[in-house]
């Protein structure tokens, strides 16, 4: 048993209904997405990405996010963040807020210039400039803003990314008003030593208090990286039920680390998540049936209710 301790709460940010589904080839109905979110809400998860306000021309899987937000069974004390690409996206989201409330949003950029250009068609600094009006507007409406930062150790176009580049962008996002920065190993090539060093570098800058980790499992290192981050004091981790998703801008990138596997790890470390693993496994079983895809969770496949 780990000595990390049983009294520390760990927050799991469930990204399957947004980051996961947007990278699946099959486009689900509103009803299917609502059912998935409701099943996840019932499990005890406190943060569940519900969708995004990106143009359906580019991300058809997220079309109808307003309807999803209006129809889900909202559980008290659960946040249902949505991804917002720019000020226009936020304005569209706020227009429907009376019947489809927005209680949290996320924005995204990268530590790699070429990835930023490929992903959102602008430079890093241009992406930050987009947020200078967006974030104050959200905060004025009492909507907290979370920042996603991609390519924290490597980029599919530039290769290895140094910690100085990552810290520069993370610091800028914090100064703009993000309450938390989710550090993304976008193509899943990081190893525990690299995660450990990056977090040490953040600590040396006094910036470690508001960090989360978002791992992909391309090289099978996600759980090892999460454990390394646990030992450095990180207590918020992104994951996707059944390991949904991938990265369309990173060839060969596998899905997010599965929520089921992360929960199993946390339980073994004596960490309290407040989430019912069996209910998450059932949600993973449901969504894999709807998508006609294999369940990527090792834990789900080792127990009843793995592959459909």
CA quadruple 260, 261, 264, 269: dihedral sign: negative
Question: How far apart (Å, rounded) are the C-alpha atoms in residues 254 and 263?
Answer: 19
Contacts of 140 (CB under 8 A, 6+ apart): none
What strands, in cross-sheet order, belong to the sheet with 11-14?
A: 47-48, 11-14, 236-239, 211-215, 180-185, 145-150, 105-110, 82-83, 51-52
Q: Let me know if 247 is a catalytic residue.
A: yes
Burial label, 212 (beta-carbon count in 10 A; 0-12, 13-18, 19+): buried
Q: Which residues pair with 267 in a beta bridge?
A: none
Catalytic residue, from 155, 247, 269, 288: name it: 247
> Would you please indicate which residues are annotated as catalytic (active-site) residues?
247
């Amino acid at each position: 048993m780990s000595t990390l301790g049983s009294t520390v709460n760990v927050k799991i940010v469930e990204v399957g209904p947004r980051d996961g589904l947007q990278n699946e080839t099959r486009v689900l109905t509103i009803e299917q997405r609502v059912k998935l979110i409701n099943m996840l809400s019932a499990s005890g998860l406190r943060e569940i990405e519900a969708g995004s306000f990106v143009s359906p021309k580019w991300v058809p899987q997220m079309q109808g996010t307003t309807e999803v937000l209006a129809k889900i069974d909202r559980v008290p004390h659960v946040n249902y963040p949505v991804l917002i690409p720019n000020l226009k996206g936020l304005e569209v989201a706020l227009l429907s807020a009376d019947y489809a409330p927005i209680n949290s949003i996320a924005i995204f950029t990268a530590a790699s210039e070429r990835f930023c250009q490929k992903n959102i068609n602008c430079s890093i600094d241009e992406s930050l400039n987009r947020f200078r009006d967006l974030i104050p507007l959200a905060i004025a409406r009492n909507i907290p803003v979370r920042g996603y930062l991609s390519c924290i150790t490597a980029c599919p176009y530039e290769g290895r990314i140094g910690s100085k580049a990552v810290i520069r962008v993370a610091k800028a996002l914090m100064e703009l008003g993000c309450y938390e920065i989710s550090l993304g190993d976008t193509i899943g090539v990081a190893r525990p030593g690299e995660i450990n060093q990056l977090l040490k570098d953040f600590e040396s800058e006094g910036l470690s208090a508001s960090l989360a980790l978002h791992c992909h499992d391309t090289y099978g290192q996600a759980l090892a990286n999460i454990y390394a981050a646990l030992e450095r004091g990180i207590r918020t981790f992104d994951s996707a039920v059944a390991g949904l998703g991938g990265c369309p801008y990173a060839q060969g990138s596998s899905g997010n680390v599965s929520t089921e596997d992360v929960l199993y790890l946390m339980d073994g470390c004596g960490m309290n998540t407040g989430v019912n693993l069996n209910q998450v496994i059932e949600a993973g079983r449901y969504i894999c049936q709807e998508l006609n895809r294999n369940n990527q969770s090792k834990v789900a496949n080792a127990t009843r209710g793995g592959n459909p």
